[in-house]
Amino acid sequence: MTSRRILVETKNLSKDPPPGISATPDEDNCRYFHVIMAGPKGSPYEGGLFKLELFLPENYPLCPPSVRFLTKIYHPNIDKLGRICLDILKDQWSPALQIRTVLLSIQALLSAPNPDDPLANDVANMWKNDEEEAISVAKSWTRRYAVMDS
């Protein structure tokens, strides 16, 4: 059952990719996806291309996929190992969600950081106390780590 579901999702992702996101399965492992996400317009991540990895566990879609940023990013809900604090990746997961919806939710998180539910405490504090400074750090990190044509 799971293989059929993964097959359908993979086909849909390549046929009709969500805007600003590409997800391609690994050649050797159809459960491992290489993801590239463009920083959303109007966010401090604009202009950057962020690499992520996405893995579908054995119980997928009854269990949520594991997703992690590989590119360094300055964001209150993403820690320095790239782990993401997002409810649908944990207790709010529903088997009716898909890889596509998960990636779109992550993209939305980049546009709207939530410093009240932080994963990276120092970043979140900066975001709350001095948002302007936090945004400028996020922009400089984007330039430094997420712009590939340098």
Q: How far is the CB of 105 from other proteins (least distance, A)?
A: 11
Q: Which is nearer to other proteins, 109 or 126 (CB)?
A: 109
Q: How far is the CB of 59 from other proteins (least distance, A)?
A: 5
- 30 belongs to the catalytic site: no
CA distance 130 to 110: 18
> Which positions touch other proteins (CB under 8 A)?
1-2, 4-5, 8, 59, 61-63, 92, 94-97, 101
List C-alpha distances in Å: 55 to 131, 132, 145: 33, 35, 23
Q: Which is nearer to other proteins, 95 or 136 (CB)?
A: 95
DSSP state of 150: -
Phi, psi of 117 (to 5 degrees): -130, 65
Q: Which is nearer to other proteins, 96 or 112 (CB)?
A: 96
The string of DSSP letters for 19-44 reads TTEEEEE-SS-TTEEEEEEEPPTTST
Among candidate residues 85, 106, 109, 126, the one labeled active-site is: 85
Catalytic residue positions?
85
